[in-house]
Structure 1
């Protein structure tokens, strides 16, 4: 049964259809939102809020759009709202001495060559996620939707409410920036 058929059942009052939607999309939404927020707690909250909004708004869904596109749009809008809200919040560290401009978090660089391939892969994924966080929001969003979530350009344009040319440009520029960021990581690994 297609996602759209399941949603139609939910709209008809078959509550079990919602469980099917959750099962089909919980991991995909979690994956997408984690890469957008880079915070497990925020990600979990956003996934739950997305499903809550899907359920509450089930009657406004129209079959002309793919269910996945509709859900990613909801998730993306929630993530953007959370991000804007967090930008307005100020963070204060209990350890920082505001009177000392040199009081910073220590950065320790490990220069040991990794022998364990699994650990190396894990660190590479962490480096990729760090690099994704360095991209501006528009580029990160487009790259995640295309390369990680493997959505089509058309779906991304619809989700982000952006012209197709802009979507392609953001993906290309985001990929170029990622290559530059990760390229410096790879060079430092081979030294």
Structure 2
């Protein structure tokens, strides 16, 4: 019986026909996919996935194409998809390779803020706000415009109508006063 005849039997509901297709093609698909992947595990996964797709799509097969061509097309498309997925994924060991003297251990940083850190940040911001309110108006204005609004010295000078040297002086003196006011708070929070 030809491959196409066996496939017609599978389409008609003869489940044993699938076993015949698997028996005929498992080695051929394995050899084909191994040449593409050069990895036995990936190859095995792809062979199984190919047969799964063949079974699920058995009713979409039309006899105008050879069964082998249809199956190899499925297998190749699966291999290409896997290859693209693997290109997007990168495997990184977090441990240094002891055989490689230039290899370093990979450090993982967690960018999520813990609740304790969020609470600490809120308290820090509250302390900063209190300290800002203790500065005289000229220093607070200069600090807010420069450090919070991110304006240039020139823009601050123009907005406040003061000389550039005065702006720089107010910012430096204001920062120093803030450091003096919140330094105790920051230092008491460190371990």
TM-score w.r.t. length of structure 2: 0.50
- The answer to whether the aligner puts 1:33 opposite 2:33 as a matched pair is yes
* Distance (whole Å) between structure 2 residues aligned to residue 31 and residue 96 of structure 1: 35
Q: What SS does the corresponding residue of 2:7 show, helix, strand or coil?
A: helix
Match of 1:159 in 2: none
CA deviations over 1:10-50 (Å, ceiling 9, x no partner): 00000000000000000000001011001111000000000
Larger-gyration structure (1/2): 2
How far does residue 91 in structure 1 lie from its aligned partner after superposition?
1.4
* Distance (whole Å) between structure 2 residues aligned to residue 72 and residue 96 of structure 1: 41
Match of 2:17 in 1: 17
Q: What SS does the corresponding residue of 2:92 show, helix, strand or coil?
A: coil
Unaligned runs of 5+ in 1: 105-191
Unaligned runs of 5+ in 2: 105-191
Match of 2:5 in 1: 5
How far does residue 90 in structure 1 lie from its aligned partner after superposition?
1.1
Aligned length: 102
How far does residue 103 in structure 1 lie from its aligned partner after superposition?
3.9
| Moved >2 Å (runs of 4+) | 93-97, 100-104
Alignment of 1:39-188 (within 5 A): 39-96=39-96, 102-103=102-103
TM-score w.r.t. length of structure 1: 0.50
How far does residue 96 in structure 1 lie from its aligned partner after superposition?
4.1
What RMSD, in angstroms, separates the aligned Cα atoms of the two structures? Answer: 1.9
Q: What SS does the corresponding residue of 2:86 show, helix, strand or coil?
A: helix
Q: What SS does the corresponding residue of 1:30 show, helix, strand or coil?
A: helix
